[in-house]
Structures are given as C-alpha cells and as structure tokens.
Amino acid sequence: MAQLHPYLNFNGNAEEAFTFYKAVFGGEFSNLQRFGEVPAGTPSPGSADKILHVALPVGKNSTLMGSDIPENYERATFGTNYFISISTDTKEEADKIFNGLKEGGIIKMPLETTFWGAYFGMVTDKFNINWMISFENHN
C-alpha cells in the first residue's frame, strides 16, 4: 500500500522547524543532509549550511520531510489550502502533540470532543504550518 509523507519547504529555517518538530513528536532524524554536502557542483551562495533534505519518522508508517529552498529559487509561500493531519493512539498523545505545536502558534480550533465523536483540534504552528490532531476512541 502507498504511504503518504508530507514534505515541507522553508525559506532558510528548516533546521529550526524540524528541531521543533523533533521536540514535539520525539524520535531521531532518519536523514539530515545539507546543501554543502552535495558532491557535484556548489550550492547557491549562502546555502551550504542550509537543509537539502531532512526526514523525521512520526509514528509507525509516516515520515515528515522537508528542506530549505535554495536562495536562487522562488521563495516558499505559506497558505491555508492544506493541513497535515495526525491521528493518535491515545487522547494523552493528542494533547501532548497539540500542546507542543501550539507553542508560539495560533489555535484554530481547540482540542475537544466533537459532534462526530473524535477528540480533535486544529493549530497553525509558529512556522505557519497547519496541523489537525485527532484521536478517535473506538472502544
């Protein structure tokens, strides 16, 4: 079965963002490469220490990935046309992730039990990434 792995682009602060996500989700980076490590050619000016690719496993079957956009490429723009949806195994895990992501961010919908029965909330983190956190108790 195919797996979905969200990939985020940043304007020079991917390392800061992924260090934050690592603190929220736990775990270790499975991959971290910088533009200066590229064997062929030279990175764009000012990009040698920037992130070429980073991968952070989240849960059993998903990985959050991202990179910085090189200086000579078009800048990333952040919008409201997407959310990264995280489903948790427990209500406590949902609280932990939501509370981590809301630090310095904006709560769009408080984490609460909804009319459809899920424990659900939405937050935009301090890097302008939109998240949906959900726990569905099927006991």
> Which pLDDT does position 38 carry in this prediction?
76
Of 28, 70, 31, nearest in space to 49 by CA:
70
Block residue for tokens 């723009």: 77
Length of the chain: 139
Better-scored residue on pLDDT, 41 or 62: 62
Q: Give the confidence band of 73 by pLDDT, cuts at 50, 70, 90.
A: confident
Domains for the chain: give ranges and CATH numbers.
7-68 (3.10.180.10), 84-135 (3.10.180.10)
Tokens of 70: 């090189």
Phi, psi for residue 113 in degrees, rounded to 5: -75, 130
Quick one: what percent of the chain has pLDDT higher than 70?
Answer: 92
Give the Cα separation of 52 and 14 in Å (integer). Answer: 9
pTM: 0.83
Give the Cα separation of 12 and 85 in Å (integer). Answer: 24
